[in-house]
Amino acid sequence: MFRILTAGESHGPLGSVIIDSLPAGLAIDIDYINNELKRRQHGYGRGARMKIEQDSVEIYSGVRFGQSTGAPVLLTVVNRDHNNWKENMSINKVQASQAVTAARPGHADLSGALKYGRDDIRDILERASARETVLRTAAGALCKLFLQEFGIKIFSRTIAIGSINVQKEIRGSSEIESSRLRCADPDAETEMIKLIEQYGEIGDSLGGITEIIADNVCIGLGSYVQYDRRLDGLIGQAMLSIPSVKGVEIGPASENSSLAGSLVHDEIFHDQEKGFFRKTNRAGGIEGGISNGQPICVRLAIKPIPTLKKPLHTVDIKTKQACSAQKERADVCVVPAVGVIAEAMLAIVLTNVFLDKFGSDSLLDIKSVFKVYQSRIANGK
């Protein structure tokens, strides 16, 4: 069974991720993985920590002579900022360490401290931090390399930040990569940047909407036979596991909910060259829990991050007295970064269902099975 397991704290010495059941024979490009980590760090509105960290991976197992071996792959990413936190993050008992007791609204602070019985919220916030997503991004990069062997490409773009929405899509995917906010509308992006600057000056934060698209996904990934195998359900869980993501749409779901069925469902056509095809994609590439051959389109609603320079009202968990929430170094807006993280999560989910469908031991064998399947689908059987 393909699975990902991460470990590490935000200001610990390093984070690690194990990728289990990655097929043997996949070419591993470390430069590609490191570039994915850089993409996660970029985006206007990111905080000061991104100037400290220079994320890159080290591979310790599962890869030999540039190819996966089929054994579990272990990747690590060093936290350069750990040098500033050695005493507070010591694994051994220290004489004095300042406990965090002012729980931040919107974080795991209070719920986590009560659940695990901790009187120092740092034990909670270090693991609950979005810093963990650097490890998912690294794992997702391996999954992207695998999916690219079958022509599947994944990208993201910003749809909205705060109250400012994209009005026109002028930039293509390559130009979006060089955009400061991963935005296809230059005019909207200019206004978004102004809004981020405005909120940064007053110590507040902004949310928004990002869209993730997977192109060239074959028909038949996922299944309707059990609830936990439905592709849209798997995608929903993966996306909602990303810190700050509070809503998921497959296709234009909110818009679809206000329309008549005759205007929503994608009609089916057939010809000798194309086989079965659609002229629209309002289902977002998934019907009945199964990919239908159209691009998979996922939109995420991202809340403003809850760590604020202008802290909200809270209660000290030790004294039970009113106070201001704990201040931590933070971003103003993470929407573009969430897009990159969500690309990784979509890649992980698609790799999982792909291996479930076509086998997982050897890339060579998977390609053989995939070729036979594609031939059958092309014949309409």
Instruction: Tell me the binding residues for FMN.
Output: 127-129, 288, 303-307, 329
Q: How far is CA 38 from CA 50, 51, 90, 138, 337, in A?
A: 10, 11, 28, 10, 10
In the numeric block, which tokens belong to residue 118?
């901790």
For 327-352, b where at least 16 C-beta lie within 10 A, e where not — what string? ebebbbbbbbbbbbbbbbbbbbbbbb
Task: Determine how many CB atoms are found less than 10 A away from the CB of residue 139.
Answer: 27
Cα angle at 73 between 61 and 34, to 5 degrees?
95
CA distance 357 to 363: 13
Annotated binding site: 40, 46, 127-129, 288, 303-307, 329
Task: Classify 222 as helix, strand or coil.
Answer: coil
CA distance 183 to 177: 9
Q: What are phi and psi of 129, to 5 degrees?
A: -60, 150
CA distance 369 to 362: 11
CA distance 161 to 192: 6
Q: Are 99 and 113 in contact (CB under 8 A)?
A: no
Q: Are 26 and 141 in contact (CB under 8 A)?
A: no
Identity at 202, one-letter amino acid code:
I
CA distance 338 to 359: 30
Task: Classify 229 as helix, strand or coil.
Answer: helix
Q: How far is CA 88 from CA 10, 85, 115, 344, in A?
A: 12, 5, 22, 31
Q: Sign of the CA dihedral 164, 165, 170, 175? A: positive
Report the run of H or E that residue 345 belongs to, with start and end.
Answer: helix 335-358
